[in-house]
């Protein structure tokens, strides 16, 4: 395989960007059981259903943006003359 092309991107949005906030909350919902087993869940983090609204309120109050972890994508393409 040839050397892959790479990109690095991160979802970013503000308090009114419901897609970015919802994405972050759903990621937390997925890792919550493991975080809870490790003792990492405290206070407001346990209320997953109210988390999106709290993030929106905090981001609006601070005039902040929300940035999720960056994701790396890679792809490569075989040359036309490559054996199949």
Rounded CA gap, 42 and 21, in Å? 20
pLDDT at 42: 84
Q: What are the distances in angstroms from CA 68 to CA 4, 22, 58?
A: 24, 11, 16
For the chain, the domains span 12-69
Predicted structure pTM score:
0.69
First-residue to last-residue Cα distance in the chain: 12
pLDDT reported for residue 46: 87
Q: How far apart are the C-alpha atoms of 60 and 31, rounded to whole Å? A: 26
How would you write the pLDDT of the chain (84 residues) with one tens digit per residue?
Answer: 889 999 999 999 999 998 999 998 999 999 999 999 999 998 888 899 999 999 999 999 999 999 988 999 999 998 887 776
pLDDT score for 84: 66
């Amino acid at each position: 395989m040839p050397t892959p092309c790479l990109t690095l991107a991160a979802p970013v949005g503000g308090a009114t960007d419901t897609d970015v906030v919802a994405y972050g909350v759903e990621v937390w919902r997925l890792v919550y059981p493991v975080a809870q087993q490790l003792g990492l869940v405290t206070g407001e983090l346990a209320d997953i259903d109210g988390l999106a609204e709290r993030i929106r309120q905090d981001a609006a109050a601070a005039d902040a943006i929300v940035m999720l972890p960056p994701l790396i994508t890679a792809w490569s393409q075989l040359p036309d003359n490559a054996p199949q």
